[in-house]
Amino acid sequence: MPEAESGSTNRRRAPTLREVAERAGVHLSTVSRVLRETEPPDGWSPTALRVREVADELGYAPNPWAASLRTRRTDTIGVVMPRLTDTVMATMFEGIEHAATEAGYSVLLTSPPDTVSAQQRSIEFLRSRQVDGLLLTSLHRDADAFLDSLRLQNTRVLLMNRHADSRVPAITGDDRRGGRLAAEHLVALGHREIGVIAGPQHATTAADRVAGFAEVLAEAGIPLPAERIRYSGFEVDGGLDAARALLDRPDRVTAVFSVNDTAAIGVLGVARDLGLRIPDDLSLVGYNDIPLVAQLPVPLTTIHSHAGLIGQTAVHRMIELIEGKPVASERVPVELIVRASTAPPSTSRPAP
């Protein structure tokens, strides 16, 4: 029977984006980019021309709605990420965007306020857009019930820079290890009067950093009373308020660990106002290693958290979830970066 009369069961399968990439001899992300772009003012490059010629030869015609109907997939990942002005979150999103593009996926981003209700509205919006899975970078400790409801609705969910119960895979930095590294550094320098700026109480990764830090102090026999753990926002203002409570008192500490670099910058402002020199009068350790802190007048000792790698890893694991593969939680390694903001406590400091 001639092909034209053979019926729909023998129709030629539509070529995939990957087949175009293989025939053209380029990376999948190059094909994805070229076929989404309009022609630039100076014309197509030779590589772009080759990609478009191969796509024409194979009969490739992007039709996301038809593809969605066939596969029940949209090749789109939904992301809920607050505080995009935050350098860490922005770096993490760069990692997400890079890895998704490399894999031929699109990203649909929402950036709600850091509240449970706002996050849930964003999640429902993304689900209405039929995304293949959700990457949630903001999650409160009391969100387990909501996550349960998403699982019951067969929504693929992966947490990033947050974690909940073991039933939801999470990609985070090794935050407990990061807290331990910060404490081991300060203890090795000889500090015993130490304060902590602990971030928001609902932030699970911040809690892990504090827990790891406290473990080392306990192992060294160094007390960490409750009044020396100050909760705050991740912003500079949060660091200012918490630092005043730790430093503007006669029994002030000789060292501070801030679970976030931006809050640590607030500590520097309070130290300046109180006439304290860094690190002679006060040692300071931050967390995340945002680019700014290496360029401060006193470069900041901090924990490098590899935020971009967390974003890339989360996308890789999300694609595995979409493909029906089992995915376990994963911790991205961290490292201590020692700079000029830490030193042994001053021997001339009067006893409290």
- Give the pLDDT confidence of 177-207 residue by residue, as tens digits: 999 999 999 999 999 999 999 998 878 889 9
Same domain for 274 and 249?
yes
Show the domain range for 54: 12-62
Query: 164 and 189: one domain?
Result: no
Q: Is residue 6 part of a domain?
A: no
Q: What percent of the chain shows pLDDT beyond 90? A: 56
Distances (CA, A) of 230 to 71, 108, 158, 253: 50, 36, 30, 13
> Does 225 share its domain with 257?
yes
Task: Indicate which CATH number applies to the domain containing 217.
Answer: 3.40.50.2300
**Residue 9 scores a pLDDT above 70:** no
* Residues 167, 83 share a domain: yes
pLDDT band at 61 (very low <50, low <70, confident <90, very high): low
| pLDDT for res 88 | 92
The answer on 299 and 181 residing in a single domain is yes
342 falls within a domain: no
pLDDT score at 197: 97
For residue 148, what pLDDT is reported?
Answer: 65
pTM for the structure as a whole = 0.77
Of 163, 156, 168, 169, nearest in space to 78 by CA: 156
Are 193 and 315 within one domain? no
Tell me whether residue 193 is in a domain.
yes
Kindly state whether residues 146 and 260 are assigned to the same domain: no
What does the pLDDT read at residue 137?
84
* Residues 293 and 311 reside in one and the same domain: no
Render 166-196 in DSSP notation, one character per residue.
TTS-EEEE-HHHHHHHHHHHHHHHT--SEEE
pLDDT at 226: 94
Same domain, 33 and 120: no
CB 341 within 8 A of CB 283: yes
pLDDT at 67: 46
Q: Per the domain annotation, does 352 fall within a domain?
A: no
Q: What is the pLDDT of residue 292?
A: 95
Instruction: Identify whether 344 is part of a domain.
Output: no
In this structure, is residue 180 part of a structural domain? yes
DSSP codes, 211-269: HHHHHHHHHTT----GGGEE---SSHHHHHHHHHHHHSSTT--SEEEESSHHHHHHHHH
Tokens 């350790």 locate to 285
pLDDT bucket at 40, cuts 50 / 70 / 90: confident
Q: Are residues 298 and 313 in the same domain?
A: no
Confidence at 208, pLDDT banded by 50, 70, 90: very high
In terms of domains, do 181 and 300 share one?
Answer: yes
pLDDT > 90? residue 42: no
What's the mean per-residue pLDDT of the chain? 86
Same domain, 196 and 290: yes
Flag whether pLDDT at 312 surpasses 50: yes
What is the number of structural domains in the chain?
A: 3
Q: For the segment 64-90, what is each residue's pLDDT rounded down to a tens digit?
A: 544 444 446 788 999 999 888 889 999
2 in any annotated domain? no
pLDDT 10s digits, 240-272: 999 999 999 988 999 999 999 999 999 999 999
Amino acid 122: pLDDT: 87
More confident residue, 18 or 3: 18
Dig out the tokens for 227 from the structure.
């009044």
